[in-house]
Structure 1
Amino acid sequence: MSTATPAAPVISAWTAISPFGHDRGSFADGIRTRTSPVSTLDTERWTRGPGETAATVPGFEPREFLGSKGTRAMNRVSGLAVAAAKHLLADIGVEPGDERDDIGFVLGTTTGSVQSMMDLTRASLTGDKPDHVEPAAVPGCVMNCAAGQAAIWHGLKGPNATIAAGRTTGPHALNYARRLLRTGRATRVLCGAAEEYSPARAWVEHHRRGGGDPVVIGEGCAMFLLEPAELRPPGRRVLGTLEGFESRVCLDGDLAGTVTVAVRKLLAAAGVAPEQVWAATGSGFTDSRGEPVETVALRSLFGDAAVDRVPPADLLGDTASASAMFQLAAVLSVAGSAGRAGAGHTVVTTCDDDGSVACTLLRLGEPA
């Protein structure tokens, strides 16, 4: 399915809470230096998981980061989303306490908080009665809890949506936000994706992969402001323009071939030649044979120089549904330091082991 449109929205601000740190600058510095944020888990903070290392946001606890009010039962993924939205809204001049019915909120996630779900299930099985559980813990088990809490916390009364599409969540969330703007349902949209580290998520992922060597679990939230270029206030610089989206499903086992077909369709719909692509980057996905299928496809399409300009998303560990959003943030970090505003296109791809493929085309700088 291809949905290119001439009225493409722009990205004019972004932030990231990541294993590199609590703000956009920390993320950009970590990406540009290609520093690994993976570390040994603190056994005093975390119960035992399948592995001894992870890429966690340093020193992040929702109650300490956001204050005691309203955070007693807030889970980690909700805290990451609320904190990222707080940073981004401050960057664009929205004051705390302002209620805005013109700002939408779109958040991608895999399932929400796996730890909250497991904790509630355990409580229902070990309590005197199944219903002897903490009532305040129930909302945290719902997949759209993080998006809802972020909107309530910041007074965002525009459309609120949660997108769950595995590792391809990022491009789908951006396309959903673009449709909200295109149809006039929102003037601006905060669009991001969030995943938490937890022992429960680590164990689920470990068993889902067959129980082999433990995967390094990453966490964080990357978030972007999307708005029509003509409604951008004076002084707010355009960082990139969303010019296309494409998604496919691999039915023949050739995932690299499906990525190639999707990217070619994406470029053709936007009228962009491969030589106009400055950077092409994938989500770091490898298939059951250990082959980096996205990298293979992108190198065949664009060559080594374009693919090697941006570090792969797996530098942060497995960030699941947030991988493509972190990759987009990495593109903007590298482009900003290279002075590439308005010069060239970038392609961000992602795929999942269920055969789904999605990709986004971004033109750096102002709309054409």
Structure 2
Amino acid sequence: MTLSASAPATATRPVITAWSAVSPYGIGKDRFVAGVLAGQDTRSPLDRGQWAAPDSHACLIPGFELREVLGKKGTRSMDRVTGLAVTAVRDLLEDSGDRRTASDEETALVLGTTTGSAQSMMDFTRASLEGDKPFYVDPSLMPNAVMNCAAGQCAIRHSLKGPNTTIAGGRVAGLSALSYAAGLLASGRARAVLSGAAEEFSDARAWLDHHRRGEDGADTVLGEGCAMFMLESGDVPDARDRALAEVLAVQSRVYADDPGDALSGCVDGVLRRAGVDARDVWAVSTSGPAGSVGEREREVLTARFGEEVLGRAPAMTPVGDTAAASAAFQIGALLAAAGQPGTPRGAVALVSSVDDNGVVACAALRLTAH
């Protein structure tokens, strides 16, 4: 089965004109770029006074306290994943500044996630079960238990009045959001789209992952963060002049047991749709999930492109398993590599994302950053 929501081949392809990151390297894309290019390991011991997770280490955003980062107004009941997304959108809008080509009504937001905040959902459910009556709950916490809370809060806080979409896609969510954003631009539903993905670290997420991963992923270290990208139509001259990358194609497929055939077919499809040959691919970024799925991903891509091509993309292992945010961080890492000496302008890069829940996705980008 093949799923594709890329812009039609006859339409002008979208371009990425700005981006932001809130990651275990810190707040801001500059810290992400420096950390990811250096391969800096971000894992650290968990503070048992703050966390009750089953793991001993995690890759957390240093010093990320909501009220310190965003101020006291509107943050009293805000959960962590919402805070990550709101911060990344704030930084993205500051980076793009008055260069935005769209009004508030023409600016859309597409946010990828796994389930929203598992912690908020569990806390709200627990309050209902433990209270004297099921409806004795804090109503201010209810919005956090809804999957699209983070996207909605980003729009409210930053006056984004265009289409607002949440896509629950697990590890491939960042690429699914990118594909959906391209569709909004191609259909004329928006002139600019803020597209990305977010994932929080929490006790609830850590325990859920602990019970589902099994021995195959026993060495998993969880991470968190959010990366956001400004997408604009490539037919806008000013946008093309500012382009950091052109989104050539995005595709996804599903598999039952072995992701190998699905990933190989997805690579074929995305390259065909992008109009490039495998020999033209300069770098390939792998998602690298723990266990046999990650090993199979690397095996398939190495056989197709070779170790040298895979080695040109910064490794994402140092930031841990960032789940829904992983593919967005992979794109950010490629943009970071594109700005380095020796990277050919116009190089084609491939993003691969494999989730052990039975989904693979690929995106082809043409890197235009100097």
TM over 0.5: yes
User: Distance in 2 between the 1:363 and 1:139 partners?
Assistant: 39
1:19 deviation in Å?
0.3
Query: Are 2:167 and 2:173, in contact at CA under 8 Å, matched by a contact in 1?
Result: yes
User: Distance in 2 between the 1:269 and 1:231 partners?
Assistant: 22
Q: Which residue of 2 aligns with 1:233?
A: 238
Of 143, 151, 162 in structure 1, the residue corresponding to residue 147 of structure 2 is 143
Aligned residues: 361
Whether 2:254 is the aligned partner of 1:249: answer yes
Of 182, 197, 205 in structure 2, the residue corresponding to residue 193 of structure 1 is 197
Q: Which residue of 1 aligns with 2:303?
A: 300
User: Distance in 1 between the 2:213 and 2:338 partners?
Assistant: 35
- Superposed CA RMSD: 2.0
User: Distance in 1 between the 2:219 and 2:129 partners?
Assistant: 28
Q: Which residue of 2 aligns with 1:58?
A: 62
Whether 2:50 is the aligned partner of 1:49: answer no
Identity rate of aligned residues, in percent? 47
User: Distance in 2 between the 1:39 and 1:226 partners?
Assistant: 34
1:315 deviation in Å?
2.3
Q: Which residue of 2 aligns with 1:104?
A: 108
Deviations 1:56-90 (A, max 9, x none): 11111222211111111000000000000000001
Q: Which residue of 1 aligns with 2:346?
A: 343
User: Distance in 1 between the 2:98 and 2:158 partners?
Assistant: 9
In structure 2, the CA distance between the partners of 1:226 and 1:234, relative to structure 1 (3 Å rule), is closer
User: Distance in 1 between the 2:213 and 2:307 partners?
Assistant: 30
Equivalent residue letter for 1:68: K
Of 305, 310, 313 in structure 2, the residue corresponding to residue 310 of structure 1 is 313
Deviations 1:297-342 (A, max 9, x none): 1111111111011133232111111111101100111111235363
Deviations 1:152-203 (A, max 9, x none): 0000000000011111111111000000000111110000100001111100
Query: Are 1:247 and 1:262, in contact at CA under 8 Å, matched by a contact in 2?
Result: yes
User: Distance in 2 between the 1:350 and 1:79 partners?
Assistant: 25
* Map 1:1-368 → 2, pairs under 5 A: 1-2=3-4, 3=6, 5-6=9-10, 7-44=12-49, 46-94=50-98, 100-210=104-214, 213=218, 215-231=220-236, 233=238, 237-251=242-256, 253-287=257-291, 289=292, 292-338=295-341, 340=343, 342-365=345-368
User: Distance in 2 between the 1:163 and 1:94 partners?
Assistant: 28
**What are structure 1's unaligned runs of at least 5 residues?**
none
**What are structure 2's unaligned runs of at least 5 residues?**
none
Q: Structure 2 length as normaliser, TM-score?
A: 0.93
Equivalent residue letter for 1:352: D
1:47 deviation in Å?
2.5
1:290 deviation in Å?
6.5
Query: Are 1:313 and 1:324, in contact at CA under 8 Å, matched by a contact in 2?
Result: no
